[in-house]
Amino acid sequence: MPERHKVLVADPLGAAGADRLRAAPGVEAVFADTQSRVELLESVRGADALIVRSGTQADAELIAAGTSLRVIGRAGVGVDNIDLAAAAEQGIAVVNTPEANTLAAAEHAFALMLATARRIADAHKSLADGNWDRKQYVGVQLAGATLGLVGFGRIGRAVGHRALAFEMAVLTTDPYIPAEVATEHGARMVELPELLAASDFVSLHAVAQEDGSALLDEAAFAIIKPGAIVVNAARGSLIDPAAARSALDDGRLAGLGLDVYDTEPPPPDHPLIGHPRVVHTPHLGASTGAAQRDVSVQVVAKVLAALKGEPVETVQPAP
């Protein structure tokens, strides 16, 4: 009798991928996105595969409960919510979909940049409230400005390409990317302090720090170019909220565009929520129909391939 695999889906999955999973022969698809943590710990027992997005913490506890797990699929790029070391210790492969939401994430980062530079959210609210105040909402031009990209992977490069089309100069810093690769994509590789001091706009596209510390902390904001605008559509932990609030309040930062937060959802008293110089969205970087379709289809394809013993590209824990 053919082997049957149980695939547990812990977070909402796009319809295209969910349909493909349901139709896969020899697969029992269990959709548990409404389950509590306690229920999920029970459901993962006996599962051969686990699919998550960013909402579920596939930590050591959950992984240990999944004694039959062979593969964990992350529908998206970041694997900060997966304990890679614990997975490796149990011989569990971890796969993700780094290509699927590149364009959506890049477009959203650029949208935050434009919205913050031109004060679109404030102007929209003002007009909706019955005001016609053009002088209050003077913005910042992108053409001729310098964009600093912290991280030059797929998404960082895509943002850089769009910045060049807007006639911006592009700097980048990334310890994993050779300088010649940056040059090939129209950017100049520099160290982080130089990037912060020279950039009119800074867009974060880096992975989280291994120790969870902020990349843009009080010291970083002290050397950032006065009047800069920062965009973070990558990892919430990259920015120290209190330090960013201080930089906004004293005018060192002209604005901040946020799609990710150190805690999600952010608490009502979060220092950046509702600040007049902050444009914030609720983690929408991958929230386009095309991206959700592609992410769901790709993660299901990789998980099914792994269960069949076919070669798949996996995410490895840091050495």
User: What are the CA-CA distances from residue 72 to residues 86, 91, 241 (Å)?
Assistant: 12, 11, 31
CA distance 110 to 113: 5
Do the Cβ atoms of 186 and 149 come closer than 8 Å? no
In the residue annotation, 42 being an active-site residue is answered as: no
Q: What is the CA radius of gyration of the chain?
A: 21
Active-site annotation holder among 235, 245, 277, 280: 235
Active-site annotation holder among 89, 167, 264, 313: 264
Helix, strand, coil percentages, rounded to 5, for the chain: 35, 15, 45
Sheet holding 5-9, edge to edge: 27-31, 5-9, 49-52, 71-74, 93-95
CA distance 307 to 49: 8
Tell me whether strands 5-9 and 188-189 are parallel, antiparallel or unpaired: unpaired
Active-site annotation holder among 5, 108, 185, 283: 283
Do the Cβ atoms of 285 and 231 come closer than 8 Å? no
CA distance 297 to 75: 9
In the residue annotation, 205 being an active-site residue is answered as: no
In the residue annotation, 184 being an active-site residue is answered as: no
CA distance 197 to 252: 11
- Residues labelled catalytic: 235, 264, 283
